Chain A
Amino acid sequence: MTSHVTTSIEPSGIRWQSILPIVAVLALAGLGLVSSDYIVTVLGFAFIYAIFCTGLNFFMGYTGQASFGQSAFAAIGGYGSAILCTDYGWEPLLALLATMVLSGIAAVLVGYPTLRLRGHYLAMATFALGLIVYEITIEWTALTQGYMGYSGIPPLGIAGFALDTLKHQLVALVVLSLIGVGIAARLRQSRFGRALASIAGSESAAQALGVDIARYKLIAFVIAALYASAAGSLFAHFVGFISPEIYGTTMVIQSFAMLYLGGIGTMWGPMIGAIIVSILPEALRGLKEMQDIAYTAVLIFILIFAPRGLAGLSVLFRRAHGRVQEKA
């Protein structure tokens, strides 16, 4: 009989779990809207990174593959949007979509040969991809203006209605990142998502059940690239200025910290991680020279006590909840 009780509480558990993060995100965004522009900027970065990490989670979390080069697709998105909007006067939204298509094509071309590699070799190959694109953004000055970067990129807008203020843009970023998480959750809870998870679990078992692992890895890589490209474009529009360092190795390291801290392979983990890793240094600013030490200490502390990431902690609540129900 126990199983009947546990299955019957499951739907309410899932609903509670899916509403709470949305409320938390909206509350945070609301708090941002009544704060200074500085805080709005920090939150804006957080939600841009949330989009980037939600995409990366497809490849690294759900599918269990390593990519150190996803910043390359953010660079394609960012530079593509910058060039199309400032030099050619494109609509930002149109440029964002066009560069996503471009990134998707690039991901197929790069992914097809490299995804045959596994583990460390795949990590090295993707790392090289990031470095190559980084070098291109520096050296191909005719296209990218090198170290000078691109400035005067117009803010995001829809059909002629530009989102002039930072706060307008923050609202747009929150909405877009929530849509991003929603899409990820839908894709994960399907035959497609289960096929990705089977690859992370055991490639040979996945194959023995008829999963074409090369194909699914490639699709996960492309989806991650689409998210990365959108995040890169959004960054360009949000800040109005981009330069090569923005899409460099730091971006990769930041996103890894976010993924592991928030909970890799979970629905909300990437966003939770992105928000915390973005806000934490600002919250610790008062500590002055101790800031970096405190920041690192908090990160290590979280990883020791929540090795599966902060989103993994929700399992504790669910278990406690389930036990109470079973007794009743």
Chain B
Amino acid sequence: MALLSVREETMRFGGLFANQSISFDVQEGELLAVIGPNGAGKTTLFNVISGFFPPTSGSIHFDGEDITGKSSHDVASAGLVRTYQLVQLFKQLTVAENVEIGSHRVTRGGVFSALFRPEWMREQEKSVAQGARDLLRFVGLEHQADMMADTLPYGRQRLLEVARALAAKPRLLLLDEPAAGLNTQETDALAEVITRIHGTGTTVILIEHDMSLVMKIAQRIVVLDFGKKIAEGTPDEIKAHPDVIAAYLGGTEMADA
């Protein structure tokens, strides 16, 4: 059974079909990329899947459960965690604290446990702090742990956002253009991190403009254009697909990749 199953998903804003009857499946452990020209509806698709708005019609199933129209924090609680195209860090907090907040989904406790600090709560706090350090090492930010998040260079802010999402131990990680605004070296570092995340068994869906990145790491690609799915297949199949080449106006980017 597919981990994520999108069926006939349509999202209409007034007269505009941002997504039109999009269907695809994502298997457990897969690394899928969603590509398409600007305005193709990629981010809308992410927003619908992650519960930021309900689709006009169609359904989203995650792990066999219907999550269509559920609120974003419920979707996240179920294990479907996303990042944003524009970095959304907790700027006034340290790098380590940003990652610690990420563990919200997989920890428990409210006002009373915070006040009375039972044994399990103290243990949990320790493992949250330790887990955050481990994840920062995983993405290569261990030396910046005590810096304020907004003092990091942009490329590292991206990595921090990924580390924070990983702290939520996602079953499915949605990355919305993680390489946007990064230089070549930063993109390479990011590609390596994404590959390692995938290597640990996390299912990943990636929206990306950077074709070389997508062609290098994705196992399967879904292509959107004007809100519709125009192709789906392996990187090699997509490179050769006539509709995809047409959508990219001759496919100069494809040729580079």
Do A and B share a complex?
yes
* Cα distance A208–B91 in the bound complex, in angstroms: 16
B residues 98-113 near A (Cβ < 8 Å) are 100-105, 107-111, 113
**Binary contact readout A184-204 vs B (1 if CB under 8 angstroms, 0 otherwise):** 001101111111011011101
Partner of B92, one of A191, A207, A210, A265: A265
Q: In the bound complex, do residue A219 and residue B111 qualify as a contact, i.e. CB atoms below 8 Å apart?
A: yes
Q: Is A211 an interface residue (CB 8 A)?
A: yes
* Cα distance A7–B145 in the bound complex, in angstroms: 9
Q: Is B82 an interface residue (CB 8 A)?
A: yes
Q: Is A245 an interface residue (CB 8 A)?
A: no
Q: For A210, what are the chain B residues with a Cβ–Cβ distance below 8 Å?
A: 73, 76-77, 81, 104-105, 168
Q: In the bound complex, do residue A192 and residue B110 qualify as a contact, i.e. CB atoms below 8 Å apart?
A: yes
Q: In the bound complex, do residue A197 and residue B114 qualify as a contact, i.e. CB atoms below 8 Å apart?
A: no
Q: Is A35 an interface residue (CB 8 A)?
A: no
Q: For A2, what are the chain B residues with a Cβ–Cβ distance below 8 Å?
A: 143
Q: In the bound complex, do residue B168 and residue A198 qualify as a contact, i.e. CB atoms below 8 Å apart?
A: no
Q: In the bound complex, do residue A190 and residue B125 qualify as a contact, i.e. CB atoms below 8 Å apart?
A: yes
Q: Which partner residue on chain B sits nearest A190 by CB separation? A: B114
* Cα distance A191–B100 in the bound complex, in angstroms: 8
Q: In the bound complex, do residue B145 and residue A207 qualify as a contact, i.e. CB atoms below 8 Å apart?
A: no
Distance in Å from the Cβ of A173 to the closest Cβ of chain B? 21
B residues 152-176 near A (Cβ < 8 Å) are 164-165, 168
Most chain A CB within a 10 A radius of its CB, from B110, B128, B145 = B110
Q: Given contacts A7-B146, A205-B90, are A194 and B101 in contact (CB under 8 A)? A: yes
Q: In the bound complex, do residue A207 and residue B109 qualify as a contact, i.e. CB atoms below 8 Å apart?
A: no
Q: In the bound complex, do residue B121 and residue A190 qualify as a contact, i.e. CB atoms below 8 Å apart?
A: yes
Distance in Å from the Cβ of B161 to the closest Cβ of chain A? 8
Q: For B108, what are the chain A residues with a Cβ–Cβ distance below 8 Å?
A: 191
Q: Is B202 an interface residue (CB 8 A)?
A: no
* Cα distance A210–B76 in the bound complex, in angstroms: 5
Q: In the bound complex, do residue A186 and residue B145 qualify as a contact, i.e. CB atoms below 8 Å apart?
A: no
Q: In the bound complex, do residue A205 and residue B89 qualify as a contact, i.e. CB atoms below 8 Å apart?
A: yes
Q: In the bound complex, do residue A191 and residue B76 qualify as a contact, i.e. CB atoms below 8 Å apart?
A: no
* Cα distance A265–B115 in the bound complex, in angstroms: 18
Q: Which partner residue on chain B sits nearest A3 by CB separation? A: B143
Q: Is A316 an interface residue (CB 8 A)?
A: no
Q: Is A292 an interface residue (CB 8 A)?
A: no
Q: Is B5 an interface residue (CB 8 A)?
A: no
Distance in Å from the Cβ of B91 to the closest Cβ of chain A? 6
Q: For B102, what are the chain A residues with a Cβ–Cβ distance below 8 Å?
A: 209
* Cα distance A141–B121 in the bound complex, in angstroms: 49
Q: Which partner residue on chain B sits nearest A10 by CB separation? A: B146
Q: In the bound complex, do residue B84 and residue A204 qualify as a contact, i.e. CB atoms below 8 Å apart?
A: yes
**Binary contact readout B70-103 vs A (1 if CB under 8 angstroms, 0 otherwise):** 0111001100011110001111110001001111
A residues 67-116 near B (Cβ < 8 Å) are none
Distance in Å from the Cβ of B199 to the closest Cβ of chain A? 23
Distance in Å from the Cβ of B188 to the closest Cβ of chain A? 24
Q: Is A282 an interface residue (CB 8 A)?
A: no
Partner of B109, one of A191, A200, A265: A191
Q: Given contacts A191-B109, A192-B114, are A208 and B145 in contact (CB under 8 A)? A: no
Q: Is B241 an interface residue (CB 8 A)?
A: no
Q: Is A66 an interface residue (CB 8 A)?
A: no
Q: Which partner residue on chain B sits nearest A223 by CB separation? A: B111
A residues 207-230 near B (Cβ < 8 Å) are 207-213, 219, 223
Q: In the bound complex, do residue A208 and residue B76 qualify as a contact, i.e. CB atoms below 8 Å apart?
A: yes
Q: In the bound complex, do residue A204 and residue B88 qualify as a contact, i.e. CB atoms below 8 Å apart?
A: yes
Q: Is A250 an interface residue (CB 8 A)?
A: no
Distance in Å from the Cβ of B157 to the closest Cβ of chain A? 12
* Cα distance A200–B92 in the bound complex, in angstroms: 9
Most chain B CB within a 10 A radius of its CB, from A10, A189, A210 = A210
Most chain B CB within a 10 A radius of its CB, from A187, A194, A197 = A194
B residues 46-83 near A (Cβ < 8 Å) are 50, 52, 71-73, 76-77, 81-83
Closest 7 CB pairs of A and B: A201-B90, A190-B114, A210-B76, A205-B88, A210-B105, A202-B88, A210-B77
9 contacts between A and B (CB under 8 A): A3-B142, A190-B125, A191-B128, A197-B90, A198-B90, A202-B88, A202-B89, A207-B73, A210-B77
